[in-house]
Amino acid sequence: MSIREAIIATTVLTAASLLAAGNASAQSCRAAGPNTAASALTYPVSQKGTQIDDYHGTSVPDPYRWLEDGNSPETAAWVTAQNKVTQEYLGRIASRAAIKARLTTLWNYERFSTPFKEGGRYFYSRNDGLQNQAVFYTMASPDEPPRVLLDPNTLSTDGTVALAGLAVSPDGKHLAYGTAASGSDWNEWRVRDIETGVDLPDQLKWVKFSGASWTRDGKGFFYSRYDAPNEATKLADANYFQKLYFHAVGTPQSADTLVYDRPDHKDWGFGGTVTDDGQYLIITITQGTARKNRLYYKDLRQPGSKVVPLLDDFDAAYSFIDHQGPLLYLRTDRGTPRGRIIAIDLRKPQPDQWKTIVAESADTLQAVSLVDGKLLASYLHDAKSAVKVYALDGKLIRDVTLPGIGSVGGFAGKRADRETFYSFTGFTTPTTIYRYDIASGKSSVYRQPRAAFDPAAFVTEQIFYKSKDGTTVPMFIVHKKGMQLDGSNPTYLYGYGGFDISLTPSYSVANLQWIEMGGVLAIPNLRGGGEYGESWHQAGTKLQKQNVFDDFIAAAEWLIANRYTSTPKLAIGGGSNGGLLVGAAMTQRPELFGAALPAVGVMDMLRFHKFTIGWAWTSDYGSSDDAAQFKALYAYSPLHNLKPACYPATMVTTADHDDRVVPAHSFKFAATAQAAQRGTAPMLIRIETKAGHGAGKPTSKQIEEAADRWGFLTRELQMTPAITASN
């Protein structure tokens, strides 16, 4: 896992329809409305400081700088006071208890990961329903009873210790696994004997943004870590100088061998992958979250061999697939923004000697694996999955017949395997696991969950709309069958738009609950994502980041113009980079939305690069250290564009252990928003404890958070939710 990995009917609005939407919102802001209790809210005092920074001659006040100190008594008191106001507000929402009860019922179903095979055994994860963490199992064959190998629920009393990574040795004897406490990105790795289920003394600390890759003989594995941080400030300090190590089983971490580092490049990150035959260590080198990377290799069969640069120009993305002798198969977007499969001969590695195996197509190439001597290629076609099987010479063998419109994952395996497994999911289809026979091309259901709802009651559609500059953008819309287009439907518009990440159809218990209550779910595939390849991604980065916000705002306008909803019934949401999206949209067009839910958002675009891994995001955002980029960042930074105005009802969410997007972003934004609000709508912040950016969050906390989110919207959008009775 690299830093990047740890980081888916065209109508043109008329001026008249936009004006009508704006006037309706302005009137609702001036009027007290039915929720006048919001105007009586007394927020905790957020003391204003005198901090002023100079950015290239521009003076920028930062009065809540003190909230960046997560260890200070003042910040702790502020957090406690804010949570008290928020919980009292949420506690008065009549529908919240019923929403939580129904969410609990919907969440109580079996969930499975895609199995994989290693060392003659099969491995997979399963959650029986309401377990806080999924349990990791092993079995001798896919049809035999499984045995518990690792149960993360036993690692803490409240489910806040999660499995953060794992790797099985090729001989099937050992499991290397990482755990994360309270949602932190910092991981601790251990080694377990698979036969006995007992941990060995091995303990590896200060691992972050890393997996593990075993040598063929099973004697040890490669992993990446940082130097030990300052214990008091480890959740906020910047992370630089990652190093690639080899750990021999049964030895202390102090004896680990440094394989590769670059003290001259503090922002380089390293990921080591051993080829299936054990011959090469493939080293992927990244710079932050940039899609581009370098590729080096080391011959493990030659003692003392040096690390050899193979692709060192940082000009494109290169992903190793497999090799045949000196011939390496790679997925790349060099010269082909939507991706292709190439072969590079290590004896003649010059670009003019590369061979294209599978050429670029109209669809975006997402992933490739080599199983049973075949290339299994996963594509995105208008943000929906498609899979093709190719021979090693690039000849198309077949298209994989998928169960419907949705998203797939898996298709992993080795050259000699005769089968593979894959997952399939959609907005109203819980993740189902399929077994795929390579020779026949037949899929069969391996594990199918049974959830407590009727998928036939809902419909998923995909529309295409025009953004501000005329770009066509796709959007998924999910709702109950028979819904009337009369502008009265509560709608949750969710987006991301960044870091080459694609928003594709996937099942979410929380989202299912929303549409079951009568809400509309709308998910546009904004620029900045990876749905249409690297050019689509780049069109939403740095000086072009405003395109992302324009795409999102245009989606809202399309939903209103086509009478799916109206401003008082329209909520927007997003997390992390999506939290930035919501913050920018609500500050640029506050009159357009009825409610806003920015989660763990990047809100201070002038200082984000000064904390933890924030510097890595400059590949997408740029940096305030650059004069031209500062101007663009300052123009949309949510924190700096909050002015006295009428803002929609807002509930900011963050967590005290978020060391990806530090909670100071949300703290400062909430304090500023509360001071800037001139309407009657609430400006709340919900701060989760013993939780991080989102990964590994216990089921119990997910249910609580979703109940608060939907409860807040039922009140602020004036919903009368149709809540199905729970068992």
| SS3 category, 27 | helix
**Cβ atoms within 10 Å, residue 628:** 11
CA torsion angle 249 255 261 265 (round to 10): 130
Residue 542 burial (CB < 10 Å; 0-12/13-18/19+)?
A: middle
What pLDDT is recorded for position 612? 85
What pLDDT is recorded for position 103? 96
Inside any domain, residue 400: yes
Of 174, 640, 657, 693, which residue is the catalytic one? 693
Of 210, 385, 576, 624, which residue is the catalytic one? 576
Residue 553 burial (CB < 10 Å; 0-12/13-18/19+)?
A: buried
Claim to verify: residue 255 and residue 155 sit in the same structural domain: yes
Claim to verify: residue 60 and residue 140 sit in the same structural domain: no
Claim to verify: residue 563 and residue 468 sit in the same structural domain: yes
Claim to verify: residue 226 and residue 118 sit in the same structural domain: yes
What pLDDT is recorded for position 172? 95
Residue 604 burial (CB < 10 Å; 0-12/13-18/19+)?
A: buried
Inside any domain, residue 261: yes
Inside any domain, residue 164: yes
Q: What length does the chain have?
A: 727
What pLDDT is recorded for position 14? 28
The span from the CA of 487 to the CA of 534, in Å, is 36
Contact in structure between 183 and 693 (CB atoms under 8 Å): yes
* Residue pLDDT, tens place only, 410-457: 999 999 999 999 999 999 999 999 999 999 999 999 999 998 899 999
Inside any domain, residue 46: no
693 is catalytic: yes
The span from the CA of 660 to the CA of 612, in Å, is 7
Claim to verify: residue 193 and residue 323 sit in the same structural domain: yes
Claim to verify: residue 223 and residue 87 sit in the same structural domain: no
- Provide the CATH number for the domain around residue 74: 3.40.50.1820
CA 417 → CA 276, 447, 487, distances in Å? 12, 20, 53
Inside any domain, residue 339: yes
The residue whose two tokens read 């670009």 is: 351
Q: Which of 449, 476, 498 is the last residue of a domain?
A: 449
Claim to verify: residue 284 and residue 306 sit in the same structural domain: yes
Question: Which are the contacts of 209, defined by CB distance < 8 A and separation ≥ 6?
Answer: 1, 2, 3, 5, 6, 185, 224, 242, 269, 613
The span from the CA of 337 to the CA of 467, in Å, is 22
What b/e sequence results for 412-424 when a residue is b if at least 16 CB atoms lie within 10 Å of its CB, and e otherwise?
Answer: bbbbebebbbbbb
Q: Which of 449, 464, 493 is the last residue of a domain?
A: 449
Q: Pick from 106, 661, 648: which is nearest to 428 by CA?
A: 106
Contact in structure between 334 and 352 (CB atoms under 8 Å): no
Concatenated DSSP letters of 208-227: -S---EE-TTSSEEEEEE--
Beta strands in 346-406 (DSSP E): 355-358, 364-371, 374-381, 384-390, 396-399
Domain around 348: 111-362
Contact in structure between 372 and 357 (CB atoms under 8 Å): no
Inside any domain, residue 668: yes
What pLDDT is recorded for position 20? 32
Claim to verify: residue 518 and residue 597 sit in the same structural domain: yes
Inside any domain, residue 44: no
What pLDDT is recorded for position 678? 95
What pLDDT is recorded for position 400? 97
Distance of alpha carbon 173 from its chain centroid, rounded?
32
What pLDDT is recorded for position 426? 96
Claim to verify: residue 518 and residue 584 sit in the same structural domain: yes
The span from the CA of 582 to the CA of 690, in Å, is 25
| SS3 category, 337 | coil
Inside any domain, residue 722: no
Contact in structure between 555 and 561 (CB atoms under 8 Å): no
The tokens describing 85, both together, are 């106001």
Contact in structure between 574 and 548 (CB atoms under 8 Å): no
The span from the CA of 353 to the CA of 374, in Å, is 23
Claim to verify: residue 499 and residue 351 sit in the same structural domain: no
The span from the CA of 399 to the CA of 402, in Å, is 9
Low-confidence stretches of the chain (pLDDT < 70) are 1-40, 236, 657-658, 690-696, 725-727
Claim to verify: residue 278 and residue 195 sit in the same structural domain: yes
Name the β-bridge partners of 286. 269, 293
The span from the CA of 439 to the CA of 322, in Å, is 20
Structural domain count, the chain: 3
Claim to verify: residue 559 and residue 707 sit in the same structural domain: yes
- Provide the CATH number for the domain around residue 176: 2.130.10.120
Q: Which of 329, 347, 362 is the last residue of a domain?
A: 362
